[in-house]
Amino acid sequence: MLEGERKSLDEESVVVAKPLTNRHLRVVGSFLAAAAILTTWWILSGRPEKIEAAPPLAVSSSAPASTPPQAEVVVDVVGKVKDPGIVTLPPGSRVIDAIKAAGGIEGKADTTALNMARVLSDGEQILVGIEPVGSAGASADGAPGVGGAKVNLNSATEEQLDELPGVGPVTAGAIIAWRGEHGRFSRIEELMEVKGIGPATMAELEPLVMI
């Protein structure tokens, strides 16, 4: 009787493994998928955030404003040229350029007194092969000649004006500036309109200059 009871208890304690059904497999698969998602989220959430680089600053391609071009030079070419008169030339032009613009020298003109390389001043007069009226000793381009020759106010350079008594570099520049603003002197008395020239200076210059 005792042996039979022990045998019955041993049989009850044995667990019989049952085969897995499709329902069991679906539950296990869902659990594994959820675990994989959680694992992936945990790994990614622990990574440092990627910092986007700032876009490069745009470089302006606009060129600096250009300086206004210098005004043209207008001079009066008279004397022994093929087409005497007013000619307009680019800034920085020289006496030779003015003569060429007037058609070139006509005939046999004496141009030894002309400085062909001199840079032109706006509003001046170029005398080709002739002498200024009333100034037999003056050079053809208005430079002071020998023997007290007069200086042509409308064609003399700043250096030539600087040689006059009572006229320094500043006053010579003022004369050139006045000439550029008004075109040319029509009367010697207009020198009084130039800054730096008073009655005393005018009295010294009057017998030494011409227009």
189: domain range?
142-211
Residue 208 maps to a domain: yes
CATH of residue 151: 1.10.150.320
| CA gap 122, 125 in Å, rounded | 9
Residue 150 inside a domain? The answer is yes
Residue 55 in domain: no
Q: Is the pTM of this model over 0.85?
A: no
Residue located via tokens 């296990």: 28
Per-residue pLDDT of the chain (211 residues; tens, 9 = 90+): 455 555 554 555 544 445 556 666 676 667 677 777 777 766 666 655 555 666 666 555 555 555 556 678 999 998 889 998 999 999 999 999 999 999 999 888 788 778 899 999 888 888 888 776 544 444 444 444 434 568 889 888 888 898 888 888 899 999 999 988 888 888 889 999 998 898 888 888 888 898 8
Does 174 fall in a domain?
yes
Alpha helices by DSSP H, listed for the chain, are 2-13, 22-45, 95-101, 158-162, 169-182, 199-205
Burial grade of 190 (CB within 10 A; 0-12, 13-18, 19 or more):
middle
The answer to whether residue 87 is domain-embedded is no
82 within some domain:
no
Instruction: Report the domain count for the chain.
Output: 1
User: Which sign does the torsion angle of CA 187, 193, 199, 204 carry?
Assistant: negative
Instruction: Tell me if 164 is assigned to some domain.
Output: yes
Other beta carbons within 10 Å of 160: 19
Cβ–Cβ < 8 Å for 133, 85? no
